[in-house]
Each structure stands twice: as C-alpha cells, then as structure tokens.
C-alpha cells in the first residue's frame, strides 16, 4: 500500500514510505528547481490528506515542515 503521493514538476509518483520519498527527491538536482517552478512540487500524505511543500537550497530538495523528519536535507553521496 502506498502512503505518499509525490508530485515533482507535474509528474506523479506513489511512494510506499518516507524513505521512498527521499530516494526520489535525491535524484533531482537542486538546479532544476531554479530553472523550473516548484509550484508543481509537493507531497501528499494519502492517509491524512495533508499536503507538504517541496523546497530546496544548495544541499538539495527537502520536504518543508514534515512532522516525522522535519526539514531533512537530501544530499548526494
């Protein structure tokens, strides 16, 4: 069962858990957020219906104000 729906630049992806969300976000270079709009980037908790914004900084993309792992950054290894 999928817990999250992740929208990145208009493309939907279903994620089983938060770790799956992090894997998807890690694949997106932060430079893409500069050239494209983040309006089409968000995360929906399909259990509660809560919508979280996706934001970025020079370290990468992250889920803004996420309760479980608040503002966890995604770094390339």
Which of the two residues, 37 and 51, has the higher pLDDT score?
51
Stretch 23-33: mean pLDDT:
91
Instruction: Tell me, yes or no, whether 75 lies in a domain.
Output: no
Domain that holds residue 48: 4-63
pLDDT at 65 over 80: yes
Provide DSSP, 26-68.
Answer: HTS-HHHHHHS-GGG-EEEETTT--EEEEEEETTEEEETT-ST
pLDDT at 63 over 70: yes
Instruction: Tell me, yes or no, whether 73 lies in a domain.
Output: no
Instruction: Tell me, yes or no, whether 47 lies in a domain.
Output: yes
**What is the DSSP code (8-state) at residue 17?**
S
* Number of domains observed in the structure of the chain: 1
In degrees rounded to 5, what are phi and psi of residue 5? -115, 120
Instruction: Tell me, yes or no, whether 77 lies in a domain.
Output: no
Going by pLDDT thresholds of 50, 70 and 90, the confidence category of residue 55 is: very high
Stretch 2-10: mean pLDDT:
95
Q: What percent of the chain has a predicted confidence (pLDDT) above 70?
A: 87
């Amino acid at each position: 069962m999928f817990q999250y729906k992740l929208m990145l630049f208009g493309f939907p992806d279903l994620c089983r858990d938060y770790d799956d969300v992090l894997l998807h976000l890690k694949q997106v270079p932060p430079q893409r957020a500069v050239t494209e709009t983040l309006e089409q980037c968000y995360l929906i908790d399909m259990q509660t219906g809560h919508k979280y914004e996706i934001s970025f900084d020079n370290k990468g993309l992250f889920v803004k104000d996420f309760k479980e792992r608040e503002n966890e950054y995604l770094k390339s290894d």
